[in-house]
Amino acid sequence: MIARDTGKDALQQGADYRTLREYNHLLVLNSVRLQGPAARVALAQLTGLSKTTVSSIIDQLLQDNLVTEGDFIDAPASGGRRPILVQFNEDIGLVLGIEIRYSTLTLITTNLAGQVKSVWNEPFDFTTPPQTCLAMLAAAIRIFMARADLQWDHILGIGVGLTVPIDTRTRTLLFPPGAYSWDGIDIAAFLSQQFQVPVYVDNNANMAALSEGRYGTGKPFSDFVYITIGKGIGGGLIRNHQIYHGAMGTAGEIGHLQLVGDGPLCICGKHGCLETLADNGAIIDDACAGRSLARVAPRAGVSSRLANADIEDLDINDIIHAAESGEMSARLALQQAGRYIGAAVAIMINLLNPEVVILEGATVRTGRYLLEAVQEESARHTLPAIWPATKIIAGQLGDLAVALGAATVVIDAAFAITPATALAEYPQQVNNPTA
């Protein structure tokens, strides 16, 4: 005897069909978005769906204005006729990407292909109490939206990259060095309550690693280590084109690899972490004091230009230029930092076997001494079997990498097929720290 369908089962079946329908729509849309423009036939091959199913989905996507279809000028001609191709309508929405540093704020908008549409930088003070700081952040976002003449109904969401670790389990800041009153604060909840859009927050190095992988030198690679050298040293891991967070979200924190047991005190409370030995501040300090120079040539002196300079007035570009114009203390300081970073890079390569290690920062972008030293030192410590297949290269995206990565996280979530990363990231209960 065959049981009759109960109403409940029919409803369940309806839900399953809807899920399948949504899944197929996203599958086709993502194929157009990431691999298009493409012909309907090609999309059927890419997705494994029938031509009829793909055609009916494309018709719906055309109606929703999510794709356009036509004879695109830049498409390769075949048999004398240009094919009719389906193309993602990347300008149907915008995304807000934000980078919060200790003293500056960068806001950008991108379209849904990650193309930057507007940029704004302004001074910021992340060391002020969270109540003041969050109010300043919300005000800056409102001013940016007004200046760029943007409406909230065009904004898919906000991504935020911060110079501190984020606990991915709770989305809160994890004991931010130098800003301890922020511990446990949920910036995403605050912003989504203010602006009624989904908000995603992550560490700045993770965000920069993601954008370098999508749009920069990391594009050909699925697994890489990303290291950013500036005020501190940050790291992000990309595994299968996505950020690898680890259990709590702090995976890749290469700056806190302890390289010298009795080294300088780090902001994390330990001694001799990589960033105390090789970040921009450490390099400036070494060059002006002539420490590396004294080891190599004890009687040689630092040029009066560096020795007499007020260290607060120097930035890393002064040291890079001094090194390039022959100042030995500057050159040796950059090389010494490069050796420390190289030793840490070798540990990462031996542990993770990435295809490539991408370095970012002024010392890599405009100078050669640090990168050369990183390559030499990591070659010395890396397993000989994997060294020839591992590349160490410079990043490409520079100052916008973090904000662009933050925007990319929003785009990825908006088109994610798996429920875990789907758009519905609205917090049900918002803990408003300014209330």
CB of 195 to Zn ion, least distance (A): 34
- Please state the three-class secondary structure of the chain as a single string: CCCCCCHHHHHHHHHHHHHHHHHHHHHHHHHHHHHCCECHHHHHHHHCCCHHHHHHHHHHHHHCCCEEEECCCCCCCECCECCCEEEECCCCCEEEEEEECCCEEEEEEECCCCCEEEEEEEECCCCCCHHHHHHHHHHHHHHHHHHCCCCHHHEEEEEEEECCCEECCCCEECCCCCCHHHCCCCHHHHHHHHHCCCEEEEEHHHHHHHHHHHHCCCCCCCCEEEEEEECEEEEEEEECCEECCCCCCCCCCHHHCECCCCCCECCCCCECEHHHHHCHHHHHHHHHHCHHHHHHCCCCCCCHHHHCCCHHHCCHHHHHHHHHCCCHHHHHHHHHHHHHHHHHHHHHHHHHCCCEEEEECHHHHCCCHHHHHHHHHHHHHCCCCCHHHCEEEECCCHHHHHHHHHHHHHHHHHCCCCHHHCCCCCCCCCCCCCC
CB of 265 to Zn ion, least distance (A): 9
Residues 41-70 that bind Zn ion (CB under 5 A): none
Decide whether 11 or 265 has the Cβ nearer to Zn ion: 265
Decide whether 42 or 344 has the Cβ nearer to Zn ion: 344
Decide whether 277 or 371 has the Cβ nearer to Zn ion: 277
Decide whether 114 or 272 has the Cβ nearer to Zn ion: 272
Decide whether 266 or 284 has the Cβ nearer to Zn ion: 266
CB of 267 to Zn ion, least distance (A): 6
Decide whether 266 or 362 has the Cβ nearer to Zn ion: 266
Task: Give dist(CA 273, CA 358) in Å, integer.
Answer: 20
Task: Give dist(CA 37, CA 91) in Å, integer.
Answer: 15
Q: Is 266 in the site for Zn ion (CB under 5 A)?
A: yes
CB of 178 to Zn ion, least distance (A): 12
Part of the chain binding Zn ion (CB under 5 A), chosen from 4-12, 158-166, 230-238, 265-273: 265-273
Cα-based torsion angle of the residue sequence 402, 174, 167, 187 in order, rounded to the nearest 10 degrees: -60
Task: Give dist(CA 392, CA 411) in Å, integer.
Answer: 29
Task: Give dist(CA 322, CA 293) in Å, integer.
Answer: 14
CB of 268 to Zn ion, least distance (A): 3
Decide whether 38 or 273 has the Cβ nearer to Zn ion: 273
CB of 272 to Zn ion, least distance (A): 8
Decide whether 57 or 257 has the Cβ nearer to Zn ion: 257
Q: Is 32 in the site for Zn ion (CB under 5 A)?
A: no
Q: How far is C-alpha 191 from the geometric centre of its chain's CA atoms?
A: 19
Q: Is 112 in the site for Zn ion (CB under 5 A)?
A: no
CB of 256 to Zn ion, least distance (A): 4
CB of 292 to Zn ion, least distance (A): 21
Binder of Zn ion out of 273, 284, 356, 402 (CB under 5 A): 273
Q: Which residue type sits at 288?
A: C
CB of 258 to Zn ion, least distance (A): 7
Residues 293-332 that bind Zn ion (CB under 5 A): none
Tokens 């410590």 identify what position? 381
Q: Is 268 in the site for Zn ion (CB under 5 A)?
A: yes
Part of the chain binding Zn ion (CB under 5 A), chosen from 21-29, 141-149, 230-238, 267-275: 267-275
User: Which string of x and - marks every residue 224-263 that binds Zn ion (by CB under 5 A)?
Assistant: --------------------------------x-------
CB of 94 to Zn ion, least distance (A): 38
Using CB under 5 A as the binding criterion, the count of chain residues that bind Zn ion stands at 5
Decide whether 92 or 268 has the Cβ nearer to Zn ion: 268
User: Which string of x and - marks every residue 363-402 that binds Zn ion (by CB under 5 A)?
Assistant: ----------------------------------------
Decide whether 263 or 427 has the Cβ nearer to Zn ion: 263
Task: Give dist(CA 138, CA 366) in Å, integer.
Answer: 35
CB of 343 to Zn ion, least distance (A): 15
Decide whether 147 or 270 has the Cβ nearer to Zn ion: 270
Q: Is 344 in the site for Zn ion (CB under 5 A)?
A: no
**Chain positions contacting Zn ion, by CB under 5 A:** 256, 266, 268, 270, 273
